[in-house]
Structure 1
Amino acid sequence: MDYRQFYCMTLRMSIDCNGCYQKIRRALLQMQELESHLIDRKHGRVSVWGAFSPQDVAIKIRKRTNRRVEILELREAAGPGGADEQGAGGGQMPSN
């Protein structure tokens, strides 16, 4: 069993066109340590959830997309199936 810490990380990236969006999406889908992701094109934000090393994920995304990546927010999150200690406002992504 893997005991890495679960994180919710928000990144700022330049998402100029549909090609940029697809490149970022493909890079995120290839990363197995991510449980889920959300790409907000309008605000140029990418949110990822999972058990990972934040610096490693940011570097991987930077290398795979050839785009500047800025970490805006990093929060510890409850693992899958675990209760979130923060109570209100610390929502989890629903699993499909």
Structure 2
Amino acid sequence: MGFLDNIPECFGAYSTKIKKKRKPKQTVNIRVKMDCEGCVRKVSDALEDLEGVESVDVNKKQQRVTVTGYVDPEEVLKEVNNTGKKADVWPFVPYNLVTFPYVREAYDIKAPTGFVRNVPQALGDPKSPEMKLMTFFNDDNPNACSVM
């Protein structure tokens, strides 16, 4: 913004314009209970009408809705709940990104294939001896042993 944009703020009578801060572009994942194509259409129509939405991807098999755009996650969740569908934030992460996927709270039978629940116990402490041994022969480690 230049100097000329700030001149009206100097004069109190002309400062009627209020600037809004733009939301950052982000991707919001939500778990929604959907049974039929009517449910899918209802949820996608409600989210496409939301201001700032660029794309809506609905996966009925995984019960997952992905919204991309300049939106607030709470607004998206509220809009889906207003359709009458039960919705919450997507609680899963891909199986291959978790160090200990079979910890008590991480493994979930209701999770889609290839996903586990996102819990701190599944990630592991980077300073623990197990994690040091796991990364010792890793190709991403610049100090790794080159015997292999």
TM-score, length-scaled by structure 1: 0.67
- Give, in angstroms, the shift of residue 36 of structure 1: 0.7
TM superposition outliers: structure 1 runs of 4+ over 3 Å: none
2:54 aligns with 35
- Give, in angstroms, the shift of residue 2 of structure 1: 5.7
Matched, 1:7 2:35: no
Runs of 5+ unmatched residues, structure 2? 1-19, 92-148
* Contact 2:59–2:65 (CA under 8 A) maintained in structure 1: yes
How many pairs are equivalent?
Answer: 72
1:3-82 matches, within 5 Å, as 3-63=22-82, 65-72=83-90
Rg comparison, structure with higher value: 2
Structure with higher helix content? 2
TM-score, length-scaled by structure 2: 0.45
* Contact 2:29–2:67 (CA under 8 A) maintained in structure 1: yes
Q: How far apart, in 2, do the equivalents of 1:48 and 1:41 lie?
A: 14
SS at match of 1:31: coil
Give the superposed CA RMSD. Answer: 1.7
Greater RCO structure (CA 8 Å; 6+ sep): 1
Runs of 5+ unmatched residues, structure 1? 74-96
Structure with higher strand content? 1
